[in-house]
Structure 1
Amino acid sequence: MNVPLPDVPEVRVVGLPQLTSGFDLVERLDLSMHLKVHGPLEPQNGERLAELAEAISLRGRGGAGFPFGQKLRAVAKSAIRRGVRPVVVVNGSEGEPACRKDTVLLNRAPHLVLDGALLAAEALGARTLIIGLTRNSTESSIRTALAERGLSDRRGQRLRARIVRTPERMVSGEASSLIRAADGGPALPPGRRTRAAESGVGGAPTLLSNAETFAQLAVGARIGARRYGHTGLYNEPGTVLLTISGAVARPMVVEAPTGVPLRYVLQLAGAPMIPQGVLTGGYHGNWIDAAAAHDAAVSRESLAALGGSLGAGAILPISQDTCPLGESLRVANWLAAETAGQCGPCKLGLPAAAGGLSDVLNGGGPAALEALREVTQAVRGRGACKHPDGSARFFASTLSAFTDDLAAHVLGGGCGRETLGVLPLPMPGYTEESAPTGEKLAVDWTLCQGHGLCADLVPELIRLGADGYPALADASVPIHLRGRAQRAVRRCPALALRIEQPPAERPARPALPGSDRKALGSGRS
């Protein structure tokens, strides 16, 4: 049943809009309409801008939640100490299939994002602005917006602005991946952890934050800290953008003040009245049960207190009639295939964890469960980027949230429910680098002699079982692993490995952004 989210889903508003002001008037705010809706924006010096960010408690909205004012001060301090111009980077690389809030902003309110980025660039004295993007629709919108402002990458301009396109992969949205791509390298973590505020693009101090963060900064600068604080909670003022998908009638992006009951937001999207569980924070987030979802409010503090997380703002309920472990296994296989392949915990640990979860579902018993827990623990805190840690968090949360189902699979014959596939993942045939090709690896067991060479060549998809024979992931071969999968087939000494092609009847490719504008919407509740 897997249905990927459209680039720009329906947009709804709880209360008065801030980030989505004007969405009820036009599908996209060009510069003229943007100024009519939001008004002009006065520049501010660095200290004043940092004080504003601290006054409105602005934290990064990309998942990590780092205080923006602290980051701004760190970049300014480093730039002054080294005597170099800093760089400002907007991270619009939403490579997670369950997130669309930044994509909505970049498509429908690009100038609000640019306002915040240009405000920061002016305050820091930056002469370079970079916007990292993953999708055709966002690139088209931002190119148009830059042209409307007369910004480009031509020499001689006071501020040079350019777009960096990255593959639609989970690891592409990692800060170090985007910085590496901006320097002309692959959109992969460099294998070492560095602070962008000290050394980012071109070695210069770099202020990097996601699109919503810069849009929030622009809103705060226009209306001031006092008025900004009139919306939402006193300790987490303002609004947040949430992407609601999963078992819902209408996937949507919702702008809501902090403090609004989570159950109300779920009802807007047509979620089950009593969900079996709600995945909060996206595929690097945490599951919460129906009782916690009923009690939770839309805020970092409230969700964290109940075992959830706000993360990147993705909220995904599942209904009672699907197997939660089966749903999690689909995501686990995708997370394993998203590995950058540069460190053991990511390249070997995540496929082993996904395989371990598959073993648990397929009757592996207590031994399989214990092995899964050991692998998950071994992955945590040892990766070259945050992908292994986030994935390990997802695995651990799955095991703790669905204990009854886990017991049914470990001790009995399973929970008796099918996996409906309600959590969105890329469709086979999608052209981005990380997406499945539809092809699958298969073994001719009459020929296989257990040499294990295939597991060395493509450990993301094949691991060796306890008997020394290969165990294949129940996942399609991603495009970026196709070459190694073909090499494994060619080098199998027993000629036992093959690649099976997808069925002839393949799902229709999702419509290009812009052709589904009738689905765009705005509403207030």
Structure 2
Amino acid sequence: MPPVASVGVPRLTAGLEEFGRLDLLAHEEVHGRIGPLSTSELIRLTDAIGLQGRGGAGFPFAKKFRAVLESAAKQDKPTVVVVNATEGEPAAWKDKVLLTRAPHLILDGAALAAFALDAQEIVIGVADDGIGAGSLAAALGERRMPVPTSVVRVPHRFISGEGGALVRGINGEAHIPPGIKVRASDTGVAGLPTLLSNAETYAQLAIAARLGPYEYAAVGTADEPGTVMLSVTGSAARPAVVECPTGTPLAEVLRMCEAPVGPGLLTGGFHGKWMAPEAVARAEVSRKSLMKHGGSLGAGIMVPLGDDTCPIGEAARVVRYLAGESAGQCGPCRLGLPDLARTVDSLAIGGAAPDVVRAAAGVVKGRGACSHPDGTARFATSALEVFAADIAAHAAGDGCGKRVKGVLPIPATLDAGGGPRLTVDWTRCDGHGLCAHIAPELITLDGNGFPAFPPAPVPPWLEPGARKAINMCPALALRLVDAQPH
């Protein structure tokens, strides 16, 4: 768990330096008690402060709240409040900090929403990584919630935190996004209209309810008042979760964490965008400013690379990881993302032009049942723009002269080298090409008609195709071997 820091007076992280973790007594000493809000009061408050979801999409909370109200009235059904505290992205830490050290703020916000909606229950989704679940259980044991409240553990995977995947998991189904786009406000937990937002959003609601709209907006920008929480890792000598007012210069936050940007800064996480150093120097911490300068606030993730790692190699690692983390249930994920991973791998070794990567990204954009293909394509194409000079060096055949240090955090068991991998016995391979026809989503043919595939683990959902290609190879040249992560 990284340490916590703040720019200016802390709000969500108030009291953490003094108490470490806030139990109920410490929580009420630091933040004070809070009373319920009516439906109209909660809507007026969240409208007045322009509260946006802190999970990545930045959807207006009041608009989502109204949608649940309208759906419940139309269907004559009760409602459910869901807190998404899964935080499945490897670079994300802010919700984990709130779960482990300030759980009552999350519960306060969820209780406010449940009372205003007259919800029948609250469900809190957490990852099964063991982080925060004990703290949350202890907090629930210290207080009475307005409605029955349960905690559901979901697999700690990238896509498990997607809203539709979380709802499916709570409903006892597979922890993957649904095959069609479904709004939780219409059909969520148990088929009921569901208000779903992430942990920091509910914590922000609890702060705003105590301060009121005017004091809440005393810090931050006029368009995006208040504070945000950022997870700063990567090349940072002092990685931390930083709470800062919107409008804070991004460079100030990075200096606080002793984080050299190097060739680029990843903003918003693995579904976010890269920013060049000169853009980082001009940007402020807000959705509007980061978008203006080519970045993304997303889930509040900031990962600077530093100068001593290969940026294209780092990007290739992440695209391989994202291809393997997909649900594998629709064409863009099952076929498109492995192809995109292959093209970025080829780019890293100087074998593909940037236009080939753009074409592979264009195939998946806007076609998936969830946002995973779009986010992965955005990450890859953003790297093309920011690391153009490094790509040119790789294309020249000499590379950028830097090794891949693994600065971008990926679970070791899923990084390149871990898990089953395809290998070829080149003394046997005769270039029949049959394997590429059997498993085209995994194997392609090079210019000489021989098999080519990325040096990465075979995703579980592609293993049957890989094994079929192995069994059908006329020369018995293919193997699937277990390799340990390096």
TM-score (norm 2): 0.94
Partner of 1:354: 341
1:480 CA drift (Å)? 6.9
Name which of 296, 299, 306 aligns with 2:283.
296
Separation in 1, partners of 2:458, 2:256: 36
Q: C-alpha separation between the residues in 1 aligned to 2:348 and 2:32?
A: 56
- Give the root-mean-square deviation of aligned CA atoms: 2.2
- 1:173-202: per-residue Cα shift (whole Å, max 9, x none)? 111111111111011011100111111112
Q: Which amino acid aligns with 1:286?
A: K
Report matched runs for 1:104-253 at 5 Å: 104-134=97-127, 135-150=129-144, 159-253=147-241
Deviations 1:411-462 (A, max 9, x none): 443222222221111113x8xxx99844433221233354544775593x54
CA distance in 2, matches of 1:302, 1:39: 33
Aligned position for 2:292: 305
Does residue 383 of structure 2 align to residue 402 of structure 1? no
- Tell me how far apart the structure 1 counterparts of residues 471 and 154 of structure 2 sit (CA, whole Å): 31
Distance change >3 Å, CA 353–CA 90, structure 1 → 2: same
> 1:501: Cα distance to partner?
3.5
* Distance (Å, rounded) in 2 between the aligned partners of 1:386 and 1:494: 41
Q: CA deviation at 1:486?
A: 5.7
| Cα shift readout 1:246-305 (whole Å, capped 9, x = no counterpart) | 111122110111111111100111112x52111111111111111111111111111000
The question of 1:381 aligning with 2:375 is answered no
Q: 1:476 to 1:278 in 2, by over 3 A?
A: same
The one-letter code matched in structure 2 to 1:298 is: V
Match of 1:54 among 29, 47, 52: 47
SS in 2 for 1:414: coil
Distance verdict in 2 for CA 1:501–1:167, change over 3 Å: same
- Residue 491 of structure 1, CA deviation: 5.9
Counterpart in the other structure of 1:25: 18
Contact 2:417 2:455 in 1 (8 A): no
Partner of 1:329 in structure 2?
A: 316
Q: In the alignment, is the contact (CA less than 8 A) between 1:231 and 1:237 conserved in 2? A: yes
Q: Does the aligned pair in 1 maintain the 2:85–2:199 contact within 8 Å?
A: yes
What is the alpha-carbon distance in structure 1 between the residues aligned to residue 463 and residue 257 of structure 2? 37
Q: Shift of residue 161 of structure 1?
A: 1.5
**Unaligned regions of 5+ residues in structure 1, if any?**
1-7, 152-157, 508-525
Q: Which residue of 1 aligns with 2:79?
A: 86
The amino acid that maps onto 1:60 is G
SS at match of 2:17: coil
Post-superposition offset of 1:130: 0.9
Change (3 A) 1:256 1:133: same
TM-score by length of 1: 0.87
The alpha-carbon deviation at position 340 of structure 1 amounts to 0.7
Q: CA deviation at 1:52?
A: 0.4
What amino acid sits opposite 2:401 in the alignment?
A: G
Aligned partner of 2:456 in structure 1 is 475
203-212 or 415-424: bigger deviation: 415-424
Give the share of equivalent positions with the same residue, in percent.
49
Find out whether 1:98 has 2:88 as its counterpart: no
What SS class does the counterpart of residue 399 from structure 1 fall into? Answer: helix
Residue aligning to 1:446: 427
Please give the alpha-carbon distance, in whole angstroms, between the structure 2 residues aligned to 1:210 and 1:56.
17
Alignment of 1:315 with 2:302, yes or no, is yes
Deviation at 1:395, TM superposition (A): 0.9
Give the paired residue count: 484
Cα distance between partner residues in 2 of 1:87 and 1:435: 40
Give unmatched runs, 5+ long, in structure 2.
none
